Structure 1
């Protein structure tokens, strides 16, 4: 199979990654805007409530990505192989599967909001704010999940610029509505969460321009073998779900540990770090999601050299971003923290400052891990992708956090994340080297 011209491939990579990084950074402003405005409008208690509730959003977001990334990967491979009918069935199956799964979250929001708030250890001071945020986020799960699915398919249907525009439109509207609802209208935590929930609806409105376009390849078709097809799609996107769900599990675990060590003020400090972390992670996710259509297309067409080049471009980009971001945060951590510490609480500032210096060293390795997981998902190696996601999200991080917090207190909590990412990075690079070596051997023998 003839390989793509390297310079042309690099320019295409830059285009896809630029659009997706821009869009993902904008998308991450959903939560960052909530954090900033809630911190200023509702103080440390509001920040604590947000941080206790936000892990649930990770599960909603991750489930939508599982259907979207898995379906988008299969769609791109089928289109590259010229199987348009199968690609249409994949799109339809992914939409139906995401809506069916979202109904479970709606039920939890309608009937389980109080029980869930209690499970998250919200005390009397923050219970009601936490419950309100949880309930509304869960009831709007279909909008969040469908938005994730359509974003992924539009990107894989060769329209990354519209995906970016939709993500940015949703995010900017969230920022504006956050301010209006919290300050002039005085709607408190309810205003913040409603602003967040309206954002995916605005994004879907933008994405509908592609769905209604004559150039769109996205068509609804009668799905066949619905259960089997859904399982295949969800398995390819499982690493995306694990990454997001693990983020929620880790936040819950960190909250519990920090509550026992430093109380609500410690959780507020972690809330600042966790939400800054969302923005940084969105850059790596943008690089990974921008690379995915190119990786899947090359895989579907049998172009192994193109897969290796795109992966190299992606991890190089992530490494450059890592060094730049850590350097900037090290220098600017005091003014950054002050944005979320309007009352000038000294204990909050000191805890968050130490946390940033230690916690964010993880991102020197996290980008490689995220991109490697997407590589394996994109070339239908779901088992390897799942293994990396589990390793960095649960298998290593949870026991390390419990052990290191017991041994070193808050310093151990902050360091457990970078130690996990470093160990996972070593495993990821081993998996990648073995995969490419196997592919070269397979190509030479004419297999």
Structure 2
């Protein structure tokens, strides 16, 4: 069973990173593009009112991300345990983790749907929904919440598939979901005249089909980890381990949504509906770069986890160095490209003069720190894959909670709307500095683990080493 993952400990690191990262990056780019396409079609559907409609999707987006954060938590925690278990040849443990991820996906998504639907309007108001954008946000979000199970399950299982080293399947699942969404959007929005409701229904249908495909992969026994129905029974020990490792990613996603509460309220104060729409568009444009960086990090994760379990520490160090170089260069190229194409990109969604003027200023300021983000993403992934929950958690919350929220609160008081935009590169720089410090300590963990292994202390000694 674990023979399917043996290549993670044998193949050339550069080729391995390319093999694992490229399919994930392609899949995540499709995901990012369909989010952009959603907004593009909404702009087309509502014509003169498109700024408020786009604002409605912008307000709904962070709540949608909170729902998906539960899947990211289960997937990140589960994939870290599974990749290390495969490396250590603990196949039964890997099977138990897979079953628990399946059952927890269903339990959590039902609880989320009940709570979110009951408190939908108050929730939207907390996120800064104005009277103009509220109807659009409500119409879109109610369908996304009802389809929460497929978002949580699909997100979690994509991570598990990657932990086996099957990056191509994860890519195909994302391309299938994203491609269907792009096709179904105009069908429901224009063909059936359903507007933003149609965009939401198209998203849920496409993600349902993608999730069913992933489920069948495991039910038919094609994975490196075999699915057994008896493993669906929740195991508290496994749940705690998944939670300990995955909480950092969960908090990072939720922190992003919590951050948006402060951002949208600041935008409502200093800019109004147009500024909210601009922010939503810039974030979706930026997501194309960020998803690329995240895809590279996801390609790194199974290499680190498997080789840590197999005590091949030099391979981890090489993989991290190559990943850092690739993400930094990608961030820089993305920043330069967006700077020179900003008018064309903004013009895809609206031609409103106020929107264009605000957008050109916002996009330049907000994305200045893009080349620095790779350090945070890669270092966070390293600690998650090593099973070091505390530093992974700290890194996950650093950009949004520790640095961005205080900057969003303080800078607008000095620079008004420009202060909101400037908060982003400031937080990117601070997170870069923290990540660099913890990366250095991460290298110490690997050195000490290698030394302990050579002395015959084994993994037990290595696991006791903690960077914080």
Partner SS for 1:134: helix
1:18-37 matched pairs, under 5 angstroms: 18-37=22-41
Q: What is residue 44 of structure 2 aligned with on the other side? A: 40
Deviation at 1:225, TM superposition (A): 6.8
State the alpha-carbon separation in 1 of the partners of residues 20 and 288 from structure 2.
19
Q: What is residue 49 of structure 1 aligned with on the other side? A: 56
1:146-157 matched pairs, under 5 angstroms: 146-157=153-164
Deviation at 1:208, TM superposition (A): 3.7
State the alpha-carbon separation in 1 of the partners of residues 361 and 353 from structure 2.
12
Of the structure 1 ranges 4-13 and 416-425, higher mean CA displacement relative to structure 2 is found in: 4-13
Aligned 8 A contact 1:16 1:160 in 2:
yes
Q: 2:403 aligns with which of 385, 390, 396?
A: 396
Aligned 8 A contact 2:300 2:319 in 1:
yes
Q: 2:341 aligns with which of 325, 332, 339?
A: 332
Distance 1:4 1:223, change over 3 A: closer
- Confirm or deny that 1:290 pairs with 2:299: yes
Question: Any runs of at least 4 consecutive aligned residues in structure 1 with deviations exceeding 4 A, and if so which?
Answer: 3-7
- Confirm or deny that 1:196 pairs with 2:203: yes
Aligned 8 A contact 1:154 1:210 in 2:
no
- Confirm or deny that 1:219 pairs with 2:219: no
Residues 143-184 of structure 1: CA distance to partner in whole angstroms, max 9, x if unpaired? 100001111112222321111011011001111111111123
Distance 1:99 1:208, change over 3 A: closer
- Confirm or deny that 1:247 pairs with 2:251: no
Deviation at 1:223, TM superposition (A): 5.9
Q: 1:129 aligns with which of 119, 136, 139?
A: 136
- List alignment gaps of at least 5 residues for structure 1: none
Q: What is residue 258 of structure 1 aligned with on the other side? A: 267
Of the structure 1 ranges 296-305 and 436-445, higher mean CA displacement relative to structure 2 is found in: 436-445
- List alignment gaps of at least 5 residues for structure 2: 1-6, 458-468
Deviation at 1:45, TM superposition (A): 1.1
Aligned 8 A contact 2:65 2:253 in 1:
yes
Deviation at 1:407, TM superposition (A): 0.8
Of the structure 1 ranges 26-35 and 419-428, higher mean CA displacement relative to structure 2 is found in: 26-35
Aligned 8 A contact 1:67 1:237 in 2:
yes
TM-score (norm 1): 0.95
1:42-441 matched pairs, under 5 angstroms: 42=46, 43-216=50-223, 217-220=225-228, 221-222=230-231, 226-341=235-350, 344-441=351-448
State the alpha-carbon separation in 1 of the partners of residues 377 and 451 from structure 2.
30
Aligned residue pairs, count: 444
Of the structure 1 ranges 165-174 and 146-155, higher mean CA displacement relative to structure 2 is found in: 146-155
State the alpha-carbon separation in 1 of the partners of residues 234 and 9 from structure 2.
39
Distance 1:439 1:150, change over 3 A: closer
Partner SS for 2:168: helix
Residues 58-104 of structure 1: CA distance to partner in whole angstroms, max 9, x if unpaired? 11111111001110110111111111111100111112222222122
Deviation at 1:226, TM superposition (A): 1.9
Aligned 8 A contact 1:105 1:139 in 2:
no
Partner SS for 1:222: helix
Deviation at 1:271, TM superposition (A): 1.2
State the alpha-carbon separation in 2 of the partners of residues 254 and 378 from structure 1.
31
Aligned 8 A contact 2:103 2:234 in 1:
no
Distance 1:218 1:360, change over 3 A: farther
Aligned 8 A contact 1:109 1:139 in 2:
no
Q: What is residue 12 of structure 2 aligned with on the other side? A: 8
Q: What is residue 462 of structure 2 aligned with on the other side? A: none
State the alpha-carbon separation in 1 of the partners of residues 397 and 318 from structure 2.
26
State the alpha-carbon separation in 1 of the partners of residues 405 and 117 from structure 2.
30
- The CA RMSD measured in Å over matched residues stands at 1.9
Q: What is residue 464 of structure 2 aligned with on the other side? A: none
Partner SS for 2:272: helix
State the alpha-carbon separation in 2 of the partners of residues 300 and 315 from structure 1.
22
TM-score (norm 2): 0.91
State the alpha-carbon separation in 2 of the partners of residues 363 and 201 from structure 1.
33
